[in-house]
A and B are shown apart, each in its own frame.
Chain A
């Protein structure tokens, strides 16, 4: 990894590629081929979803598929074929295995590799918004791994914490995001910014778990037990049905989050990302995440050289331009509105020891 990466020439070329594909996007950081590819893919996915007809799973598929298509297009314009590479593992969300979105609360994860023993990772739960103001996040996940049915947000929190050392708290969950799909924006709100809501859910959970224990012990038959438990949990959690996540600070656009993760030089802390500092930690994260959700992986690259002119002449349609305009406005949002890097040590492996 080189300190002068990305060099000026590369950034300028990437910038012109972005402009050719989607319009004059103002860079948040000097773009690298990977950050350019990811931003283009996000902008195109927003544009695709802007008519509001796709559901959240279709949007996620088009987003990750778009990345898979765009990354090689950018990579072809640089000498080293490995930059930026892109690969992904798929997991079927409909599986009834104990692992999966129902048990983790998460939809997909993203890993950006800087070397064999250096990577950044983030976890996302996608939500399609019905309006432009907030996300309806209340959802009860079914019985899994001996757990009663419980709100998805609590499973997402537990899964996020399980990847961190034992002294981690919600403060450190700035790398686990609700990703809101809106017509003009895909925005991320980290769980660390939802601690007031989470404490409300956790407090209710302690009461409701007791009620579910009592309900379970009073059941006279095991027939449809999981479905009945789920129905009872939904009834008990009804008071939380109106709970939403506002599209308020601190939020970060998905395109910006990916750009920061891909283009910020290794060694510089980046909010919103988990730092994986060994091959063991990367493998452990990949193995556990890919067993339960879609995992997209990309290689950040090491100062590649340009080999030819892109001749990128794609014309931007109106939805693309409005997305670019929105991202440009967000690029000027106050720094403190972005997720902050936090003080927890990097993830060291699957069995963290007590500090």
Chain B
């Protein structure tokens, strides 16, 4: 039977796991909620949990690596950024050479990776249908949203400063 932490993990990543006794023996069937793919079979629950853990970890890792690539491309200039966007959008088959020759990204797995996996699945759908391209597009959107938010903040601060200047008494 599953432990509380195992059940909690499966709930977070929205995966069902059920036990079935058949004439030929016991089996564990599993599939993400809402997935259109066939159920997967495992000999024991441990292997099933291991399978989904690996899937979720790789998903989070690829998401964070994608964000790191976006950041690096930005630092390498407009051309690199444009080329990376073309790759993310499927217009080009390769990531920019400048990124390949750049030092590798260090992407440690955060301690709250299960929560991050949960958020990604909520936004993007069943875990077995999330592709790297979807993760990259999501990462790019959040990066743009963050930039827009920062720009908005900068604009608001500038506006406030200008109003402040205007409000100052004019010296005689």
Contacts and interface: CB of A to CB of B under 8 A. Distances in A.
Given A171-B107, A240-B93, A196 B69 contact: yes
Interface string B70-99: 000000000000000001001001110001
B132 A169 contact: no
Most buried by A among B6, B95, B100, B136: B100
Interface stretch (B23-31, B43-51, B149-157): B43-51
Contacts of A204: 93
A171 B58 CA distance: 11
- Specify the main secondary structure of chain A where it touches its partner: helix
Interface stretch (B32-40, B60-68, B118-126, B164-172): B60-68
B106 A171 contact: yes
Contact of B105 (A196, A202, A243, A351): A196
Nearest to B101: A246
B109 A196 contact: no
Contacts of B95: 196, 199-200
B57 interface: yes
Nearest to A246: B101
Contacts of A94: none
B4 to A, nearest CB: 12
Contact of A196 (B5, B54, B100, B133): B100
B47 A351 contact: yes
A203 B9 CA distance: 26
Interface string B1-23: 00001100100000000000000
Given A166-B54, A169-B61, A354-B9, A196 B108 contact: no
Interface string A244-257: 00101110000000
A166 B49 CA distance: 9
B49 A354 contact: yes
Interface residues of A, number: 33
A168 B132 contact: no
B158 interface: no
A4 interface: no
A197 B99 CA distance: 9
A315 interface: no
Interface string A226-251: 00000000000001100100101110
A82 interface: no
A352 B53 CA distance: 11
Interface stretch (A14-22, A57-65, A187-195, A300-308): A187-195
Most buried by B among A168, A196, A249: A196
Contacts of A240: 93-94
Nearest to B69: A196
A353 interface: yes
Interface in A157-195: 161, 166-171, 192-195
A8 to B, nearest CB: 37
A350 to B, nearest CB: 11
B165 to A, nearest CB: 47
B65 A199 contact: yes
A162 to B, nearest CB: 9
Contacts of B9: 354
A351 B48 CA distance: 11
A166 B53 contact: yes
A170 B61 contact: yes
Given A167-B109, A200-B94, A206 B131 contact: yes
Given A167-B109, A194-B104, A199-B65, A239 B93 contact: yes
B94 A192 contact: no
B56 to A, nearest CB: 9
Nearest to B66: A199
Given A200-B94, A206-B133, A240-B93, A169 B101 contact: no
A343 interface: yes
B57 A192 contact: no
B65 to A, nearest CB: 6
Contact of B50 (A194, A195, A203, A354): A354
A203 B133 contact: yes
A205 to B, nearest CB: 9
16 contacts: A167-B57, A169-B57, A169-B109, A171-B106, A196-B100, A199-B95, A199-B132, A200-B94, A243-B94, A248-B101, A250-B104, A343-B108, A351-B46, A351-B50, A353-B50, A354-B49
By Cβ-Cβ distance, the 3 closest A-B pairs, closest first, are A239-B93, A166-B53, A203-B132
Given A166-B57, A169-B109, A199-B69, 17 more contacts: A167-B109, A167-B113, A171-B61, A171-B106, A192-B104, A194-B104, A195-B105, A200-B100, A203-B133, A206-B131, A206-B132, A239-B93, A239-B94, A246-B101, A343-B108, A351-B47, A352-B50
